[in-house]
Chain A
Amino acid sequence: MLLPEFDIDESRWSGVAEAPAPGRQLAVAQALRALLPADCVLSRDEELHPYECDGLAVFRQQPMLVVLPRTETEVRAVLLACRRLEVPVVARGAGTGLSGGAMPHAAGVVLSLARFDRILQIDPAARIARVQPGVRNLAVSEAAAAYGLFYAPDPSSQIACTIGGNVAENSGGVHCLKYGLTLHNVLGLRGCTIDGEPIELGGCALDAPGLDLLALSIGSEGLLLVVTEVILKLLPKPELAQVVMASFDDVGKAGEAVAAIIAAGIIPSGLEMMDRKATAAVEPFVRAGYDLAAEAILLAESDGTPDEVADEVRAMERVLQANGATAIAVSASEAERLRFWSGRKNAFPAAGRISPDYYCMDGTIPRNRLGHMLKAIERMEHKYGLKCMNVFHAGDGNLHPLILFDANRSGEWERADRFGADILELCVQLGGTITGEHGVGVEKLNSMCVQFSPAERAAFFSVKRAFDPPGLLNPGKCIPTLARCAEYGRMHVRHGQLPHPDLPRF
């Protein structure tokens, strides 16, 4: 059921692969070159090539043009020109996204924020950092370290990914159980609307009047505005951190131990799980000292004052033992703590070492369904004839099954794709969500049809149009059109899996 007030032209730019009209590239390039220094506009095939995809390389599209502005004034000029000429704009950070969010539009411009790479201010008294969006995540904590402060969200990609990308995806990390997601650590931002208007949301104060457009903008995947500056919250670095590593002979038991830790009133600063296939893949690569006989290992970190950590580590050991841990090790030094983590942080590259390709999923489920999910994934491995290794942000119920496949073998990617969609649908059925931190991008458009009703999707389009009336910012991403969902629904009926995806929920 589509409601009249929500009925808008959602599909105008949704075809990201639709080629520009002949002569268009030249005309738009000329318009942009009149506004920017020559080195800021790329138009030759070999220059455009590196921008074809983000971290999810199975989705590729060459853009019409790439622009690399240096100042906010230039960004505004680009947006104004694109609005006038009706050219889609795809903002881009480091391109490490895992859902095709920064994948270009064939008739569009990629607006790279790579040159916005300055940390503008670190104010230790106010505990804030003011940074440009192209600053790498890790660079913030490195700059803040001199003051005993750090920026908490730490995606595994933190050496490469940018703050602008983090804001657009509401990225998490291994420490977000205790310290929150990007949303909880961004105080304000500055950006440009498609009209080229500067806009400021939030700031150095904790509240702002009106609707919380800051919260709405975080995680909006470049569909609402282009971020040009971000104010980040910095936290005092804990005096000490220690990791407890526990082995289990059954993944179900490991899942129960996770719930038991939380139920005991403990919020570890990180609580991660890896299954046997994952530890087997990373161990030869990083030599983290993982127990290769265990079906699953848990990494639980405690941070705080030395007394506090000692206390919490003891409490966690007790809970882990009571829940059937077969071995427990506690990091005895900072070097050992980092070594314990190194395996977890390198799980994705390790998957890339043991398999020609891997497909990383990102659903979230209630923690108490972890065991159920793992068993289901095992059955799916047989169904699709593909292996899957599992790493989880277990504390948040956020799963990263890594489906291993070989894109050069015919049919394998298609199977991996369906395997992934199956996992996501089970996430929704178990009361969870199709993406915990990687975003929808182009990748999970179909799964959005499963999670949201037509009216809910129409509400998302309404938000988009409130910020971006012409619909030019990263079109075709994040929200599936009604037509697309109808098509996906028909396909599914054929597979006999999901009978009525388009019926409203009441």
Chain B
Amino acid sequence: MDSALQELRHQVLQAHSASTPLRLRGAGTKDFYGERCEGTLLDMRGYFGVVDYEPSELVITARCGTSLSELEGLLAQHRQFLAFEPPAFGGDPTIGGVIAAGLSGPRRFQAGAARDFVLGAVLLCAQGELLHFGGKVIKNVAGFDLSRLLCGSLGILGAITEVSLKVLPLPRLEQTLQFEMAASEALALFNRWAGQPLPISATAWYDGHAWLRLSGAPPALRTACERLGGELLDAEAASRFWRSLRDQTHPFFGHASTLWRLSLPSTAPQIAGSGSQLIEWGGALRWCASDQPAADMRQRAGAAGGTALHWRGGTAGGRFHSLSPVVLEIHRRLKSRFDPHGIFNPGRLIADL
């Protein structure tokens, strides 16, 4: 066994036998995300490297500590990419952290979320075993889909040591159109356009402006631009703009207030009291800089058929939207079976789990 992996395994076994909590961490770009958790640092960066990449298979397999920049650099050489556009938050995350957090960028609107691209994962479990789930092929229904369960698990079930991800060819062309309009008008249009066969790969609205990114074959983009109107943005500026949304370096995210992340049905009307707003994913993701009481934000998001996540800033407190009792009970049972001594990131995803 690789010595870095052996070291990780050793630390996990020790923590398990002593019942002492571990805090799993890659590059720390998402330290802000989720609930606070205490524990001995388990640094996942030491186990790195791309294990397998065959461009014609559309699959890449990498160890958890591999940096996103290395992985994306390699894919770009073959004109491929991670279509869920994982945010780097201005740093260089590890791929293990990307999958454990399960966050996706602007293209989630069209291409799907991180979990949709997970094909397989290796889990270092509390008892020190390496469990292989899923695999390196696109279609695989053997056994429960645990590799996708790990995506977004924030490390509470064990340490993800390796992942296999589906990759896609880079779009041949991308163009961004900018429009002037109010938020309510943008929400209506985003939903209308999404119901038409248009090559829209991302949408955004902020401060009286709407943006549409089109991706695909040149002829398809030509037709779409004619149909949609708007002002064509310079390619450089457009790419900087989408990158700033993906990594949250856009000025909106520097706002002083508490930042809420509302995940709503795309057709949900404007949420009252949502403060300054940035809208993504065709209306399904709404970032709200608002000092409204947390209970109100959650109640309003819930009433609209969604959930509110306390993303950044403001006073500490529950970050995530609460779970129904049935769902919470299943979480408890899963946690107690996979991590009976509670060593993996206790409380990071759900308080007291």
Q: Which residues of A contact B (CB under 8 A)?
A: 1, 3, 5-6, 123-127, 147-149, 169-170, 172, 176-177, 180-181, 183-184, 193, 197-201, 203-213, 215-216, 218-220, 223-224, 236-239, 259-260, 262-263, 265-267, 304-305, 307-308, 310-312, 364-368, 393, 396-398, 431-440, 444, 448, 451-453, 455-457, 459-460, 462-467, 469, 478-479, 504-506
Q: In whole angstroms, how far apart are the Cα atoms of A421 and B67 in the complex?
A: 40
Does B309 sit at the interface, judged by CB under 8 A? yes
Question: In the complex, are the beta carbons of A211 and B340 less than 8 A apart?
Answer: no
Q: Which of B138, B220, B326 gathers most chain A CB within 10 Å?
A: B138
Does B131 sit at the interface, judged by CB under 8 A? yes
When distances are taken between beta carbons in the complex, the residues of chain B under 8 Å from A210 are 320, 323, 327-328, 331, 349-350
Question: In the complex, are the beta carbons of B334 and A305 less than 8 A apart?
Answer: no
When distances are taken between beta carbons in the complex, the residues of chain B under 8 Å from A440 are 141-143
Question: In the complex, are the beta carbons of A203 and B321 less than 8 A apart?
Answer: no
What's the nearest-Cβ distance from chain B to residue A470, in Å? 13
1/0 per residue B315-337: CB within 8 Å of A? 00000111110111011011001
What's the nearest-Cβ distance from chain A to residue B167, in Å? 11
> A213, A365, A462: which contacts B137 (Cβ < 8 A)?
A365
When distances are taken between beta carbons in the complex, the residues of chain A under 8 Å from B198 are 236
When distances are taken between beta carbons in the complex, the residues of chain A under 8 Å from B142 are 433-435, 440, 444, 448, 451-452
Q: Which of B113, B130, B330 gathers most chain A CB within 10 Å?
A: B330
In the complex, besides A183-B148, A305-B219, 18 extra interface pairs with C-beta distance below 8 angstroms are A176-B139, A201-B327, A204-B265, A205-B307, A210-B328, A212-B102, A219-B144, A265-B172, A308-B219, A433-B142, A437-B141, A440-B142, A448-B142, A463-B144, A465-B333, A466-B337, A478-B144, A506-B1
Does B12 sit at the interface, judged by CB under 8 A? no
Residue of A nearest to B218 (CB): A311
Q: Which of A177, A464, A465, A467 gathers most chain B CB within 10 Å?
A: A467
Question: In the complex, are the beta carbons of A207 and B263 less than 8 A apart?
Answer: yes
Residue of B nearest to A240 (CB): B197
Question: In the complex, are the beta carbons of B169 and A266 less than 8 A apart?
Answer: yes
Contacting residues of chain B (121-161) with chain A, CB-CB under 8 angstroms: 125-127, 129-133, 135-146, 148-149, 151-153, 156-157
Q: A127-B195, A431-B136 are in contact. Are A204 and B305 (CB under 8 A)?
A: yes
What's the nearest-Cβ distance from chain B to residue A22, in Å? 35
Residue of B nearest to A308 (CB): B220
Residue of B nearest to A395 (CB): B138
Question: In the complex, are the beta carbons of B116 and A180 less than 8 A apart?
Answer: yes
Q: In whole angstroms, how far apart are the Cα atoms of A448 and B194 in the complex?
A: 41
Question: In the complex, are the beta carbons of A465 and B337 less than 8 A apart?
Answer: yes
Question: In the complex, are the beta carbons of B305 and A213 less than 8 A apart?
Answer: no
Question: In the complex, are the beta carbons of B195 and A259 less than 8 A apart?
Answer: no
1/0 per residue B268-284: CB within 8 Å of A? 00000000000001001
Of B24-32, B52-60, B241-249, B252-260, the one with at least 4 CB within 8 A of chain A: B52-60
Does B170 sit at the interface, judged by CB under 8 A? yes
Does B107 sit at the interface, judged by CB under 8 A? no
Q: In whole angstroms, how far apart are the Cα atoms of A147 and B132 in the complex?
A: 43
Q: In whole angstroms, how far apart are the Cα atoms of A397 and B140 in the complex?
A: 10
Q: Which of A183, A224, A311, A433 gathers most chain B CB within 10 Å?
A: A433
Residue of B nearest to A455 (CB): B129
Q: A201-B327, A436-B141, A504-B129 are in contact. Are A239 and B197 (CB under 8 A)?
A: yes
Residue of B nearest to A479 (CB): B143
When distances are taken between beta carbons in the complex, the residues of chain A under 8 Å from B218 are 311
What's the nearest-Cβ distance from chain A to residue B73, in Å? 18
When distances are taken between beta carbons in the complex, the residues of chain A under 8 Å from B219 are 305, 307-308, 310-311
When distances are taken between beta carbons in the complex, the residues of chain A under 8 Å from B115 are 212, 215
Question: In the complex, are the beta carbons of B129 and A126 less than 8 A apart?
Answer: no
Question: In the complex, are the beta carbons of B141 and A123 less than 8 A apart?
Answer: no
Q: Which of A259, A304, A448 gathers most chain B CB within 10 Å?
A: A304
Residue of A nearest to B196 (CB): A236
When distances are taken between beta carbons in the complex, the residues of chain B under 8 Å from A204 are 265, 305-306
Question: In the complex, are the beta carbons of A366 and B195 less than 8 A apart?
Answer: no
Does B45 sit at the interface, judged by CB under 8 A? no
Q: In whole angstroms, how far apart are the Cα atoms of A415 and B310 in the complex?
A: 60
Question: In the complex, are the beta carbons of B192 and A125 less than 8 A apart?
Answer: yes
When distances are taken between beta carbons in the complex, the residues of chain A under 8 Å from B102 are 212
What's the nearest-Cβ distance from chain B to residue A194, in Å? 11
When distances are taken between beta carbons in the complex, the residues of chain B under 8 Å from A215 are 115, 145, 148-149, 151
Q: Which of A123, A127, A311, A456 gathers most chain B CB within 10 Å?
A: A456
Question: In the complex, are the beta carbons of B307 and A267 less than 8 A apart?
Answer: no
Q: In whole angstroms, how far apart are the Cα atoms of A397 and B56 in the complex?
A: 11
State the 3 A-B residue pairs at the shortest beta-carbon distance, nearest first.
A307-B219, A265-B169, A436-B139
Q: Which of A224, A367, A368 gathers most chain B CB within 10 Å?
A: A367
Question: In the complex, are the beta carbons of B284 and A206 less than 8 A apart?
Answer: yes
Q: A210-B327, A212-B115, A307-B220 are in contact. Are A205 and B337 (CB under 8 A)?
A: no
> A203, A304, A366, A396: which contacts B220 (Cβ < 8 A)?
A304
Does B266 sit at the interface, judged by CB under 8 A? yes
Question: In the complex, are the beta carbons of A126 and B191 less than 8 A apart?
Answer: yes
Q: Which of A204, A205, A211 gathers most chain B CB within 10 Å?
A: A211
Question: In the complex, are the beta carbons of A213 and B145 less than 8 A apart?
Answer: no
Does B206 sit at the interface, judged by CB under 8 A? no
Question: In the complex, are the beta carbons of A211 and B331 less than 8 A apart?
Answer: yes
What's the nearest-Cβ distance from chain A to residue B166, in Å? 10
What's the nearest-Cβ distance from chain A to residue B114, in Å? 10
What's the nearest-Cβ distance from chain A to residue B13, in Å? 12
Does B216 sit at the interface, judged by CB under 8 A? yes
> B149, B195, B321, B323: which contacts A216 (Cβ < 8 A)?
B149
What's the nearest-Cβ distance from chain A to residue B156, in Å? 8
When distances are taken between beta carbons in the complex, the residues of chain B under 8 Å from A198 are 326
